[in-house]
Amino acid sequence: MDLDRTAPPHPVDILPAAPAPLEVTSEDFADGEALPDDAGYGHGNTSPQLSWSGAPEGTKSYLLVCHDPDAPVVGGFSHWAILGLPADVTSLASGAGEYGNQHGEGAYTLANDFGTKDWGGCAPPEGDVPHRYVFTVWALDTDDTGLDASSSIAKAQFMTLGNVLARGSITGTYQL
Contact 61, 140 (CB under 8 A): yes
CATH topology classification for 18-174: Phosphatidylethanolamine-binding Protein (3.90.280)
3-state SS, residue 155: helix
**pLDDT in the model for residue 143:** 96
pLDDT band at residue 1 under the 50/70/90 scheme: confident
Pairing of strands 23-25, 50-53: antiparallel
The residues pairing with 84 across neighbouring beta strands, listed in sequence order, are none
Reported as a single tens digit per residue, the pLDDT across 116-151 is 999 999 999 999 999 999 999 999 999 999 999 999
Q: CA 132, CA 124: separation in Å to the nearest integer?
A: 10
- For the cut 90, the answer to whether the pLDDT of residue 2 exceeds it is no
Tell me which of 1 and 24 has the higher pLDDT: 24
**pLDDT in the model for residue 172:** 99
Among candidate residues 28, 50, 29, the one with its CA nearest the CA of residue 96:
50
Q: Which residues contact 84 (CB under 8 A, 6 or more apart)?
A: 61, 63, 104, 106, 107, 108, 143, 145
Query: pLDDT over 90 for what percent of the chain?
Result: 94
Reported as a single tens digit per residue, the pLDDT across 91-103 is 999 999 999 888 9
Q: CA 136, CA 38: separation in Å to the nearest integer?
A: 20
